[in-house]
Each structure stands twice: as C-alpha cells, then as structure tokens.
Structure 1
Amino acid sequence: MPPTDRNLRTLAPLGLRERKKAQTRDAIQRHALRLFRQDGYSATTMEQIAAAADVSPSTLYRYFATKEDLVLQDSYDEIVAAVFRAQPPETPPLEGLRLAVHEVLTSIDPEDRAEAAERARLSFTIPEVRGRALEHMLTTADVIAELFAERLNRPTNSLEVRVLSGSVIGAILGAQQLWITDLETDLLDLTERALQCLIDGPTALTGP
C-alpha cells in the first residue's frame, strides 16, 4: 500500500516535534528517489543520499535503516487504520477498508501520486527491494487483521480474520501486478477497484 506521507498526514495531524521529524523523513526520501532516477538504485549509496539531503549518515540511518526502506517506508498503514476506526462500527470490514482507502487516496495530490507510483515500480523491479516488500506486506496484513478483528469482535489470529486480511493483500498484489504491465494506468485507482472486487465476490467475475 504505497502512497507518500505528506498529504496523508492531513488526515491524522501530528504535533510540532512529529511534524519536524516527518518533514526530515520526507526530504530524505525525496532526495533518495531523485538519485535513484538519476544514477540508478544500485549505484546510489546511503552516504550519497545523506549528503544530498544535507543530513549526517547517522541521521539517515535513524530514519531509514536500509536503502530498501527508502523505497518502501511510509505512514499509509497507520493513516488508513485511523480513518477505518473513525467509521461507524456497523460498517462491514471490507467496505470500511475500501472507504478508508478511498478517503486516503483522494487526499493525495498528483505529484505525490506520481511519487507513490514510482516507489511501487521500484519495489517490483529491483530484486532486493522486492524481497523486502514481502515483509512490508506481511506487516500490513497484521494491521488489517487487527482492524478486522476489532470490527468483528473476534481474535486477531482467528482463521476467518486472517483469511479476510490475506485476501486484501492478494487484491492489492493483483492490482500491482496488472499495473506493472501498463504503467500508464492509475495504480491507486486499480487498488480501489481491486478492493471492490472482494466486496462484490463471485459477481465481480460476471462483468467485463
């Protein structure tokens, strides 16, 4: 689930200290992506990124422990979770998640949507990033399972909750796999449509 942080935080306001940290994190990530475009991911070092962002290497590593994290790390999960929890408790979990994702995605301006798509592309096309991306998706699955367990009043590790959260991850992967074959399509729109497929169930297969 890849959108960038800057617009997402309007849905979950931060204190002054956290805002400053978030601004530093955003700046580092923007410089890293610029260098990846300019010189290639493999050729870019953490030291070069720190210099470009005008921070010390220790500061860089405090925000991003690995180079892969510069591509994968964002606040998407926590923002979606906050929006999901703010919904009426009777909202079905899949519909609630789709609505939360829609609210978050529509808060992102075109520049940030392009950056989100760029990070998603890197996570699919660079082998070492792709491997770490699986770990991030498993973490996202845990977040979704917790949200669904709360909504359904069931244990987080119940089979039903885990299957439901895993189906969401599968839907997101399906959207990303389709997008990577045609980068001109809108990844965020595909993600929302993929979640709608889960809600529609078998009837989704009867359409075009």
Structure 2
Amino acid sequence: MSLRDRQRADTRQRIQRQALRLFTDRGYDATTVNGVAAAAGVSAMTVYRNFPTKEDLVLYDDFDQLTAATIAELPATGSLTDRIGRTVVTILDLVATTEHDLLLARLRLMISTPALQARHLDSQFRLQEAFVNAIGPSQEYGARAAASAVLGVTHTALLRWAADDGEPDLADLFREAFTATFGHAP
C-alpha cells in the first residue's frame, strides 16, 4: 500500500470512528455530517468523498475484500457451507480482536436505527457476492445458497454478541450457531 493509500485509509478510519462516537453520544438522527467533519478535523466534502451517504459512515467496511482474500487463502475442501463457515470464523477472529469496539458500536447502531436496518441488507448482499465471486461461476447457484445460509447464521451470532455487550467470543458464538444449523462445526 502506498503512502497516499495509507493516508486515505487513515483519514477514512478517523472519520468513521468520530462518526460512530458522535452517533453513540448524540444519536444517529441528531448528528450531522458537518458535525462529523468538524470532529474528524476534515471538511464536509472529505467526509462525502469517503462516505457518500450518512448511512455509509456506519455501514462501510472492507469485509467484502477481506472475504474474497480469506476464502482464496483457505483450503478449498469440504462443502461450500463449510468453506464459507471457515472463512467467516477467520474474519470474526480477526475483526473481534483488532476492531472489537468499532464492530460493537456499528452493530448497536445497525440494530437500533431503522434507516440502517434496511441498508444493512445491502452489505449482506455485497458479502454474498464476494463469496460467490471468490468461489467461481461454475458453482454460482450453490455458492449463493450456501453464502446466504451462512450469513444468516453470522447475523444471529452478531446479534447475540451485541446483546451480550461484546463479551462472549464472537467466533465461538458463530460456531455454536453454525453447529445448531448445520449439525457440525465449520
């Protein structure tokens, strides 16, 4: 990653963290993009350049790219649900340890804000597409079905994790939900 790319990523992360802090402290509807810009020390135009909508300030993540890279690195063994499940466990382990507070704040906002609940489905669709594209066109239908099922299990684990204030191990919650659904661990 070039210096310029790292600076952009740092700016994006700073903006998002400030937005989440303000949304949590003041409420989603009471927080303006101008307020986020001021808190992050950037212009409103910089906020919009990085996050085209207010919802994107909460929902934006790199999970679709991370998903594609992770599933490509893991062994292509087992059923599609098992492959996708192993990918999700790897990502949850990484995110829950490196970005625990950010993920928890995002989840709480998604759960409690009606405008974000609907847009959350868009991010689920992007993740599904990332799995389908990484697995390949020859298995497109099966990959789509498996990804949808595993993402439903993931959603269940994330809701429980958020309800429990991010205390239990997120990957363990996912494994528990996966096992309850598919009869075995990923």
Residue 119 (str. 1) matches residue 106 (str. 2) = yes
The Cα shift of 1:114 comes to: 1.9
Residue 154 (str. 1) matches residue 138 (str. 2) = yes
- Give 2:38's aligned residue: 51
8 Å Cα contact 2:59-2:106 kept in structure 1: yes
The Cα shift of 1:164 comes to: 1.2
- The equivalent position to 1:186 in structure 2, one of 161, 168, 171, is 168
Unmatched runs of 5 consecutive residues or more in structure 2: none
- The equivalent position to 1:34 in structure 2, one of 8, 21, 25, is 21
Distance 1:132 1:203 in 2: 31
Unmatched runs of 5 consecutive residues or more in structure 1: 1-13
- Give 2:72's aligned residue: 85
- The equivalent position to 2:53 in structure 1, one of 63, 66, 71, is 66
8 Å Cα contact 1:137-1:169 kept in structure 2: yes
- Give 2:145's aligned residue: 163
TM-score, normalised relative to structure 2: 0.84
Distance 1:63 1:92 in 2: 37
The Cα shift of 1:155 comes to: 4.6
Percentage identity across paired residues of the two chains: 32
C-alpha spacing 1:143/1:36, structure 2 compared with 1 (3 Å): same
C-alpha spacing 1:77/1:171, structure 2 compared with 1 (3 Å): same
C-alpha spacing 1:24/1:195, structure 2 compared with 1 (3 Å): farther
Q: Deviation digits for residues 166-188 of structure 1, max 9, x if unmatched? A: 11121122223434543354372
Instruction: Name the SS for the 1:106 alignment partner.
Output: helix
State the AA in 2 paired with 1:175. A
Instruction: Name the SS for the 1:67 alignment partner.
Output: coil
RMSD: 2.4
State the AA in 2 paired with 1:114. D
